[in-house]
């Protein structure tokens, strides 16, 4: 990887991505070979927003590499409650750990925090900004199920506030992927992401209806409407419950369609899809382990 930190998927080259995915495949094939790889190292977990998968899979990944973790715990019981700034928190925790994972409600928080620390810092979600480690496990899942080149993917739901969407769309510009974005008008991709996609020459189309494109898709990536990011609850209610899929929706889909979701889901994917061959979201969540092990292995092995 060219950089010490992982802040945005837009900083990742195809080589960076393939290095992580290939290492993850090696780990999947022989996890025992990595069991003591980072014994004695410590990963600091700083989560200023709720998390299940990201926090637990980084924790598990570090331990499976022989390392340990220290966790800031809930914001309510940390010094953040006493008014400590993010810059001070990360400067202190960097002294306790060999790498940091940060999730924060403000867009740009990870970029700012990285300026204050020398250990590698992974952005585990900054508001409606980016979530690049999720993207790496998304790409790993796509590569295993559909392949990353000659790919037609639909990304549906909250494209405005969904940080997993922003990271995934930008990372996919490294591959021969045609990207279809499906959302209500009010939740289209933000202007800056659209600009970046166009600037990189990506093949991009936007739709309001899934039917327009469903039969062509190899992958359908469904996302949750990010209720916590809406400035106004009424605006959320206008779009809540739209863009749900169930087994009937899939009548028009290819038999090989891979359905993904970063999770947690609310009501976007009906449980009647869970037992079909399309459902790949639990496998996707489990891929967080080899992929985050690979990422930590690479970041912790770099000469600094
Ligand atoms: C996502 C997130 O936090 O952005 N969750 C995750 O890390 N898997 C998606 C979401 O919260 O909807």
Query: pLDDT of 94-128, one tens digit each?
Result: 999 999 999 999 999 999 999 999 999 999 999 99
Q: What is the pLDDT of residue 71?
A: 96
Q: Element (H or E) spanning 114, and its range?
A: helix 109-114
- Ligand 1 center to residue 235 CA distance, Å? 20
C-alpha 163/C-alpha 130 separation (Å) is 5
Question: Across all residues in the chain, what is the average pLDDT?
Answer: 96
Assess whether the C-beta atom of 131 lies below 6 angstroms from ligand 1.
yes
pTM of the model: 0.97
**Over residues 187-199, mean pLDDT:** 96
Q: Residue 23 annotated as binding?
A: no
d(CA 62, CA 286): 15
Distance CA(289)–CA(284), nearest Å, equals 10
How many A from CA of 303 to the centre of ligand 1?
Answer: 31
**Mutation to probe ligand 1, out of 264, 285, 291 (largest number of atoms < 8 A from CB):** 264
Catalytic: which of 104, 131, 160, 166? 131
**What pLDDT does residue 81 have?**
82
Check if 54 has its Cβ closer than 6 Å to any atom of ligand 1.
yes
Q: Which atom of ligand 1 is nearest to the CA of 103?
A: 3
The answer to whether 53 is a known catalytic residue is: yes
- Mean pLDDT of all residues in 208-232: 97
Task: Please say if the pLDDT value at position 1 is more than 70.
Answer: no
Given pLDDT bands bounded at 50, 70 and 90, which one contains residue 82? Answer: confident
Ligand 1 centroid to Cα of residue 178, in Å, is: 23
Give backbone dihedrals phi and psi of 154, rounded to 5 degrees, phi first.
-110, 130
Q: Residue 203: pLDDT band by 50, 70, 90 thresholds? A: confident
CA gap 223, 269 in Å, rounded: 9
Q: How far, in Å, is the centroid of ligand 1 from the Cα of 124? A: 9
Q: Which domains does the chain have, with CATH numbers?
A: 9-130+288-301 (3.40.50.1370), 132-285 (3.40.50.1370)
Whether the pLDDT of residue 283 is over 70: the answer is yes
Position of tokens 């928190």? 89
- Using pLDDT thresholds of 50, 70 and 90, give the confidence band for residue 304: low
Ligand 1 neighbourhood includes 263 CB (under 6 angstroms): yes
Q: What is the mean pLDDT of residues 24-45?
A: 98
82 is catalytic: yes
> What average pLDDT score do residues 133-150 get?
98
Q: Is 163 annotated as a binding residue?
A: yes
Q: Which atom of ligand 1 is nearest to the CA of 162?
A: 4
φ/ψ of 206, rounded to 5, equals -120, 145
Is 103 among the annotated ligand-binding positions?
yes
Q: How far is the CA of 62 from the centre of ligand 1 (A)?
A: 20
Among this protein's residues, is 229 annotated catalytic? no
Share of the chain above pLDDT 70, in %: 98
Instruction: Give the contacts of 126 (CB within 8 A, at least 6 positions apart).
Output: 102, 103, 104, 106, 107, 108, 109, 110, 111, 163
3-class SS at 154? Answer: strand
For the chain, state the CA radius of gyration: 19
- What confidence score (pLDDT) does residue 2 get? 57
Whole-number pLDDT of residue 236: 94
- Which run of H or of E encompasses 281? helix 281-286
Q: Is 265 marked as a binding-site residue? A: no
Our answer to whether residue 131 is catalytic in this structure is: yes
In this model, does residue 90 exceed pLDDT 80? yes
pLDDT band at 4 (very low <50, low <70, confident <90, very high): confident
């Amino acid at each position: 990887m060219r950089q010490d930190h992982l802040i945005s998927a837009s900083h990742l080259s195809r080589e960076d991505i393939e290095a992580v995915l290939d290492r993850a495949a090696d780990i999947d094939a022989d996890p025992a070979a990595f069991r003591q790889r980072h014994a004695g190292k410590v990963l600091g977990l700083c989560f200023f927003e709720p998390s299940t998968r990201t926090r637990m899979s980084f924790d598990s990944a570090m331990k499976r590499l022989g390392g340990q973790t220290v966790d800031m715990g809930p914001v309510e019981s940390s010094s953040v409650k006493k008014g400590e700034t993010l810059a001070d928190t990360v400067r202190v925790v960097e002294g306790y750990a060999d790498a940091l994972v940060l999730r924060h409600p403000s867009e740009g928080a990870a970029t700012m925090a990285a300026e204050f620390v020398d250990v590698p810092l992974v952005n585990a979600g900054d508001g409606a900004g980016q979530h690049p480690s999720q993207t790496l496990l998304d790409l790993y899942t796509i590569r295993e199920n559909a392949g990353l080149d000659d790919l037609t993917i639909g990304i549906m739901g909250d494209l405005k506030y969904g940080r997993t969407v922003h990271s995934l769309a930008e990372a996919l510009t490294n591959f021969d992927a045609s990207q279809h974005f499906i959302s209500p008008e009010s939740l289209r991709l933000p202007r800056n992401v659209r600009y970046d996609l166009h600037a990189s020459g990506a093949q991009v189309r936007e739709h309001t209806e899934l039917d327009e494109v469903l039969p062509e898709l190899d992958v359908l990536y469904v996302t949750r409407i990010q209720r916590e990011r809406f400035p106004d609850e009424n605006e959320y209610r206008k779009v809540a419950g739209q863009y749900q899929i169930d087994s009937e929706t899939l009548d028009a889909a290819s038999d090989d369609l891979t359905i993904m979701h970063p999770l947690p889901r609310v009501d976007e994917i009906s449980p009647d899809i869970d037992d079909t061959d399309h459902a790949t979201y639990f496998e996707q969540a489990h891929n967080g382990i080899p992929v985050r092990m690979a990422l930590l292995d690479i970041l912790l092995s770099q000469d600094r």
